[in-house]
Amino acid sequence: MRNDDYEATLTDLRRTVRNRTAVIGMLSAALLVSSLSLYRVIGTERVLVTPPNIGAAFWCQGDICSASYLEQMGGYAAWLILDVAPSSIEWKKHALLDIVSPAEVGKLKERQELEAERLKRLNASTYFLPQQLAPDEEKQTVRLTGLLHTQINGQNTPPVPKSYEVAFSNQGGRKHLVGFTEIKQNEQISLAGSGGAALGGR
């Protein structure tokens, strides 16, 4: 009788093992299918986002954002960098640091602190009036063309035509400002001294 009991128990155990093996196989297959589906979706999903000041809806797909994103965020960056006065440059500097690439934070912070000292010394303020925006989705840049106005001791100086290129890149799953350069004679001129594309300046 004991042998019969052992055989029955062994048969039950073998059946349980086979059933569990089948279940594990099906779960593994489902996990594989899910992983493949997720791999195909990553980088192709469009995410709707909104700028600091909502002007129009725009999308980001992988590392690429739409022209409307570049226009609105480029205008926002120009407002933070170029529309400044002694009373506003400090808080605008901190707001700008939130969207700037970590690699550029130190350079930008130093540049804006020097600009704050200059504005206070001259009792000056500036603002930029954009007249044309030309986004480039492939390069993730936007060119801003317009007039830069400067006021010194309450006196307006003649506005100066200026063009700037604002560049963005995807880092850590979010967009960062990586360049803000003045365009002169179809060349990018560093705004913070020699070497590379710099952030900020006139």
Map out the domains of the chain with their CATH numbers: 66-189 (3.10.450.230)
The full DSSP string for the chain is -HHHHHHHHHHHHHHHHHHHHHHHHHHHHHHHHHHHHHHHHTTT-EEEE--SS-SS-EEEETTEE-HHHHHHHHHHHHHHHHSB-TTTHHHHHHHHHTTB-GGGHHHHHHHHHHHHHHHHHHTEEEEEEEEEEEEETTTTEEEEEEEEEEEETTEEPPPEEEEEEEEEEEETTEEEEEEEEEEETTEEE-SSSSSS---S--
Provide the pLDDT for residue 143: 95
pTM: 0.64
Provide the pLDDT for residue 201: 46
Tally of residues, the chain: 202
Q: Which residues of the chain have pLDDT under 50?
A: 41-50, 188-202
